[in-house]
């Protein structure tokens, strides 16, 4: 993509929306402490987060849960915007969970407002959060267009609408605290607004959160044509077009740009002006989408090229997984026949035990197998990406001269054949009966 096309993409995006808060979609609370990937808290967090998407879709867009025992208890709450369908809600939460785990890998508390529109909201913590008001962090967005009518008159109408929706949302049920409304303006435009709280809040806390969100927007973005405020416990949005999922596409009349001076010789008809504005907006949106697509394709090609040229550099990036040859020799009793588990076209598998008592399975690649460093590297990367509770976990690898070894966790008793066979069969093994 050329520099000029990148500039166009940036300007188009800037023309649609200006962000007044960092663009990332999650917040990691670093002050609450961290955990290790093998800790009970990590397992409880994984179980809690994996349960959010199916349950929130089945329970009308709100779900709260917890798992574990103190000090490893994990609490979580998720909810979707009130006009979101069950399918979209579940998909949004699923995507947000994956993003949250990547961006906040070992924080004991985090918050996400999802990656799409309409948004979804996820909180988890090592302390109770159900029914507890939380207003930080705050994310604010606003449209770049300015109000064209008298600002004081507009403010009065805007304030009456938004304040009317606060008690309506606050007095909602324990499953849904959501209110929408609209009101007409003197210049034939319409204000649309939405207020929503996490349903576990009390009416007073919900009203307090929404009032704070409305004041936040009023202080930062007064005079703009629309905007949104996201807080962990509530959301507030308004605009000059109907943005709800039941009617997500703005009608042409709502896309009127800021007032323009009339042409000196003749007037432009309202219908002509609307047609021009709609055409320009559609063109800019298509241009933006096209630019982003080309940029993404270029990034993918560059990534593939780097992967092809990297050679053993990917092994260097996995140095933290590398075992010493002497450690594996000692663990497997010098790869004795008594420790042998299986063999195949690519080599043999041995059982071993580390000094700390941990049992392992060591795959020793045959020097006659024809598998070189590149294939060995690919296998490490592939298996490392396949980590799952239903697969044997890759612990690391070893390179010693011509010897190439992979080290896996050892699953004892009858489950050994089930797990190891499925994984080793995928990479070329058969077991000794």
Instruction: Give the annotated binding-site residues for ATP.
Output: 364
Phi, psi angle pair for 58, to nearest 5°:
-90, -15
Task: Say how far apart CA 66 and CA 44 lie, in whole Å.
Answer: 9
Torsion from C-alpha of 340, 377, 402, 416, nearest 10 degrees: 0
Can you read off the two tokens belonging to residue 326?
């002497």
Task: Say how far apart CA 56 and CA 123 lie, in whole Å.
Answer: 13
Task: Say how far apart CA 100 and CA 109 lie, in whole Å.
Answer: 11
Task: Say how far apart CA 345 and CA 85 lie, in whole Å.
Answer: 52
Binding-site residue numbers are 364
Q: What is the DSSP string of 217-242?
A: HHHHHTTBSEEEEEETTEEEEEESS-
Task: Say how far apart CA 389 and CA 426 lie, in whole Å.
Answer: 17
SS3 297: helix
DSSP symbol at 335: T
Task: Say how far apart CA 35 and CA 110 lie, in whole Å.
Answer: 13
Pairing of β 359-365 and β 429-431: unpaired
Which own/partner pairs from 179-186 qualify as long-range (CB within 8 Å, at least 24 positions apart)? 180/82, 180/83, 180/244, 182/242, 183/157, 185/149, 185/154, 185/157, 186/149, 186/153
Task: Give the containing element (helix H, strand E) for 99.
Answer: helix 86-103
Task: Say how far apart CA 340 and CA 432 lie, in whole Å.
Answer: 9
3-state helix, strand, coil in the chain (%, to 5): 40, 25, 35
Task: Give the containing element (helix H, strand E) for 276.
Answer: helix 270-309
């Amino acid at each position: 993509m050329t520099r000029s096309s990148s500039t166009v993409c940036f300007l188009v995006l800037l023309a649609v929306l200006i962000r007044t808060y960092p663009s990332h979609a999650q917040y990691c609370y670093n002050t609450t402490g961290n955990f290790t990937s093998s800790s009970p808290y990590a397992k409880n967090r994984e179980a809690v987060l994996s349960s959010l998407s199916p349950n929130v879709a089945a329970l009308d867009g709100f779900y709260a849960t917890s798992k574990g025992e103190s000090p490893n208890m994990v609490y979580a709450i998720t909810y979707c915007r009130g006009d979101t369908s069950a399918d979209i809600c579940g998909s949004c939460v699923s995507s947000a969970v994956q993003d949250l785990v990547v961006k906040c890998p070992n924080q004991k508390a985090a918050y996400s407002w999802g990656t799409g529109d309409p948004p979804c909201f996820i909180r988890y913590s090592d302390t109770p959060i159900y029914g507890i008001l939380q207003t930080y962090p705050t994310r604010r967005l606003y449209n770049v267009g300015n109000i064209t009518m008298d600002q004081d008159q507009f403010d009065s109408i805007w304030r009456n609408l938004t304040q009317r929706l606060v008690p309506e949302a606050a007095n909602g049920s324990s499953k849904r605290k959501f209110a929408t409304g609209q009101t007409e303006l003197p210049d034939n435009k319409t204000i649309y607004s939405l207020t929503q709280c996490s349903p576990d809040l009390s009416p007073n806390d919900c009203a307090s959160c929404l009032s704070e969100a409305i004041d936040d927007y009023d202080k930062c973005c007064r005079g703009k044509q629309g905007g949104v405020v996201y807080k962990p416990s509530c959301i507030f949005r308004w605009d000059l077009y109907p943005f709800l999922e039941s009617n997500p596409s703005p009608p042409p009349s709502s896309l009127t740009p800021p007032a323009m001076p009339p042409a000196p010789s003749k007037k432009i008809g309202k219908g002509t002006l609307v047609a021009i504005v709609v055409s320009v907006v559609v063109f800019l949106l298509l241009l933006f989408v096209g630019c982003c697509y080309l940029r993404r394709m270029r990034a993918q090609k560059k990534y593939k090229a780097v992967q092809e040229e990297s050679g053993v550099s990917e092994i260097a990036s996995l140095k933290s997984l590398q075992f010493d040859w002497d450690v594996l020799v000692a663990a497997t009793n010098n790869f004795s026949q008594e420790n042998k588990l299986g063999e195949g076209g690519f080599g043999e598998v041995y059982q071993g035990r580390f000094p700390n008592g941990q049992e392992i399975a060591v795959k020793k690649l045959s020097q006659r197998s024809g598998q070189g460093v590149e294939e060995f590297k690919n296998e490490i990367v592939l298996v490392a990406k396949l980590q799952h509770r239903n697969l044997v976990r890759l612990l690391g690898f070893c390179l010693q001269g011509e010897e190439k070894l992979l080290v896996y966790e050892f699953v004892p008793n009858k489950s050994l054949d089930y797990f190891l066979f499925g994984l080793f069969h995928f990479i070329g093994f058969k077991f000794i009966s």
